[in-house]
Amino acid sequence: MAFTTVAEPPPGRRHLLVTAAPGFGKSWLVRSWLADHSPTWADGDTDLSAVDGWLVVDDLPPLDHAAASALAARLDRLPAATRAVLVSRTPWPGRLPADSAVLDAHDLALPEPTVGRVLAEQYGLDSPDLARAVHELTAGWPSLVHLAGRHLQTGTLATLCAPGTPLHGYAAEHVLAHLPVPQRRLLGRLGELETACEELVGPRERGTLRLLARTGLVVPAGAPPGAYGLTSAPHWLRPVPALAAVARQREPLAAATRRRLHADAAAWHAGQRIWAQAIRHRLRSGDLAATAELLREHGSAAVAAGGAGEVIDAVTALSTGPDAARGANADSRSASTPSPDAHGRGDGPSRRTEVSLLLLHGEALAVTGRLDEALACLTPLAASRDTLEPGLAWRLGQTYYSRAEHRAAFDALTRGRLDRADTVDEALLLSWTAAAYWSVGDRDACHDHALRARDAAAATGDDRALAAAHVALALHAALAGDRAGNTEQYAIALGHAEAARDAVQAARIRSNRLSQLLEEARFPQALAESVDAVAAAEASGNATALTVALVNRSEALSRMGLLDEAERCGERALAISQRAGSGKTAYALTILGDVRARRGQRSLARAAYEEAVRAADTDGMQQCFVPAMAGLACLVAYDDPATARRHAQTAAARANGPLATRALLAVGWTAVAAGDGAAATEAADRAESSARLHRDRAGLAEALELRADTIDRPSARRTALAEAARTWRATGARLDADRVACRLGQLPGASAEEQLASRVARASLEAAGVLASTPDETASAPHVAVRVLGRFEVVIDETPVPGAAWRSRKAQDLLRILVARRGRRVAREELAALLWPDDDDHHRVAHRLSVALSTMRSVLDPDRRLPTDHYVFATPTALAADPAHLDIDLDTFLAEADMGRRLHDQRRHPEAREVLAAAERRYTGDVFEDEPYDDWAVPTREEARAVYLRITRLLATLAGQRGAVDEALDYLLRILSRDPYDEAGHREVIALLDAAGRHGEARRARQRYTAAMRDIGRDTEITA
Average pLDDT over residues 69-94: 85
Residues 6 or more apart whose CB falls under 8 angstroms from that of 983 comprise 1009, 1013, 1018, 1020
Given this model, what pLDDT does residue 1020 score? 63
Per-residue confidence band for 21, with pLDDT thresholds at 50, 70 and 90: very high
For 762-783, how does the pLDDT look when each residue is reduced to its tens digit (9 = 90+)? 877 877 778 655 434 434 567 7
Return the CATH number of 784-885, one of 3.30.70.930, 1.10.10.10, 2.40.160.40, 3.20.20.70: 1.10.10.10
- CB-count burial class (<10 Å; 0-12, 13-18, 19+) for 746: middle
Q: Position 410: which residue type?
A: F
For 801-818, how does the pLDDT look when each residue is reduced to its tens digit (9 = 90+)? 988 888 888 999 999 999
Given this model, what pLDDT does residue 695 score? 86
Average pLDDT over residues 1013-1018: 81
For 608-651, how does the pLDDT look when each residue is reduced to its tens digit (9 = 90+)? 999 999 888 866 667 789 999 999 999 999 889 999 999 999 99
Per-residue confidence band for 262, with pLDDT thresholds at 50, 70 and 90: very high
For 906-937, where are the alpha helices, taking DSSP H only? 909-922
Residue spans of the domains in the chain: they are 15-108, 267-378, 397-496, 502-619, 784-885, 904-924+937-1015
Residues 6 or more apart whose CB falls under 8 angstroms from that of 956 comprise 968, 969, 971, 972, 975, 988
Could you please state the CATH topology (level 3) that the domain comprising 15-108 is classified under: Rossmann fold (3.40.50)
Q: What percent of the chain has pLDDT over 70?
A: 92
Given this model, what pLDDT does residue 701 score? 94
Predicted confidence (pLDDT) at residue 336 exceeds the cutoff of 50:
no
At residue 388, the 3 state secondary structure works out as: strand
Q: Which of 318-327, 381-390, 480-489, 976-985 has the lowest mean pLDDT?
A: 318-327
Q: Mean pLDDT score of the chain, rounded to an integer?
A: 87
**Beta-sheet pairing, 887-888 with 784-787:** parallel
For 878-998, where are the alpha helices, taking DSSP H only? 889-905, 909-922, 938-961, 965-978, 983-995
Q: Which of 113-117, 347-351, 1011-1015 has the lowest mean pLDDT?
A: 347-351
Could you please state the CATH topology (level 3) that the domain comprising 904-924+937-1015 is classified under: 1.25.40
Average pLDDT over residues 376-396: 93
For 479-502, how does the pLDDT look when each residue is reduced to its tens digit (9 = 90+)? 888 888 999 999 999 999 999 999
CATH fold match for the domains 15-108 and 502-619: no
Domain 502-619, CATH homologous superfamily name and number: Tetratricopeptide repeat domain (1.25.40.10)
State the Cα–Cα distance between residues 619 and 898, nearest whole angstrom.
55
Q: What percent of the chain has pLDDT over 90?
A: 53
CA distances from 303 to 314, 367, 430, 821 (A): 12, 8, 20, 71
**Beta-sheet pairing, 352-353 with 346-347:** antiparallel
Predicted confidence (pLDDT) at residue 350 exceeds the cutoff of 50:
no
Residues 6 or more apart whose CB falls under 8 angstroms from that of 911 comprise 903
State the Cα–Cα distance between residues 12 and 105, nearest whole angstrom.
21
Per-residue confidence band for 270, with pLDDT thresholds at 50, 70 and 90: very high
Average pLDDT over residues 582-609: 90
Given this model, what pLDDT does residue 771 score? 64
- CB-count burial class (<10 Å; 0-12, 13-18, 19+) for 701: buried
Q: Which of 134-138, 278-282, 860-864 has the lowest mean pLDDT?
A: 860-864
Predicted confidence (pLDDT) at residue 524 exceeds the cutoff of 70:
yes
- What sign does the CA torsion over 585, 586, 588, 592 have? positive
Higher-confidence residue: 245 or 934? 245
